[in-house]
Amino acid sequence: MPFRVGLTRDFLKSDGTVGLGDIRLDLLDAAPGVAWEFLPDRAPELTPELIAGYDAIILLGSRVTAATLTGADRLAVIARFGVGYDNVDVDACTEHGVLLSITPDAVRRPMATVVLTYILALSLRLLEKDRLTRAGGWADKLDYMGFGLTGRTVGIIGFGNIGREVVKLATPLELTFIAADPHVDPGIAAAIGVDLVDLETLLTTADFVVTLCALTPETHHLLNAERLALMKPTAFLISVARGPVVDQAALTVALQRKAIAGAGLDVFEREPVDPADPILSLDNVIVSPHALCWTDEWVSRSGVSVGESVLAVAAGQAPGFVVNRNAIDTPLVQEKLRRYREGA
pTM of structure: 0.90
pLDDT per position as a tens digit, 287-309 = 999 999 999 999 999 999 999 99
Total domains, the chain:
2
For residue 202, give every residue at least 6 positions away whose Cβ sits within 8 Å of its Cβ, in sequence order, or none. Answer: 155, 157, 178, 179, 180, 209
Q: How confident is the model over 119-137, as a mean pLDDT?
A: 97
Q: CA-to-CA distance for 99 and 317, rounded, in angstroms? A: 11
Q: How confident is the model at residue 343 (pLDDT cuts 50, 70, 90)?
A: confident
Q: Which residues pair with 56 in a beta bridge?
A: 5, 77
Task: Give yes or no for residue 126 having a pLDDT over 80.
Answer: yes
Q: What's the confidence (pLDDT) of residue 16?
A: 94
Instruction: Find, among 179, 254, 190, the residue nearest to 223 by Cα.
Output: 254
Task: Give yes or no for residue 133 having a pLDDT over 70.
Answer: yes
Q: How confident is the model at residue 344 (pLDDT cuts 50, 70, 90)?
A: low
**Angle, in degrees to the nearest 10, between helices 161-170 and 104-124:** 50
Is residue 91 located within the same domain as residue 122? no
Is residue 84 located within the same domain as residue 177? no
pLDDT per position as a tens digit, 36-57 = 999 999 999 999 999 999 999 9
pLDDT per position as a tens digit, 62-105 = 999 999 999 999 999 999 999 989 999 999 999 999 999 999 99
Q: Which residues pair with 287 in a beta bridge?
A: 265
Q: What's the confidence (pLDDT) of residue 120?
A: 98
CATH number of the domain enclosing 200: 3.40.50.720
Is residue 73 located within the same domain as residue 210? no
Is residue 150 located within the same domain as residue 261? yes
Is residue 177 located within the same domain as residue 75? no
Q: What is the mean pLDDT of the chain?
A: 96
Which residues are known catalytic residues? 242, 271, 290
Range of the domain at 77: 3-102+295-343
Is residue 261 located within the same domain as residue 118? yes
Buried b (16+ CB within 10 A) or exposed e, 168-206: eebeebebbbbbbbeebeeeebeeeebebbebeebbebb
Is residue 44 located within the same domain as residue 113? no
Q: What's the confidence (pLDDT) of residue 135?
A: 97
pLDDT per position as a tens digit, 100-109 = 999 999 999 9
CA diameter of the chain: 74
Task: Please state, for a pLDDT cut of 70, what percent of the chain lies above it.
Answer: 100
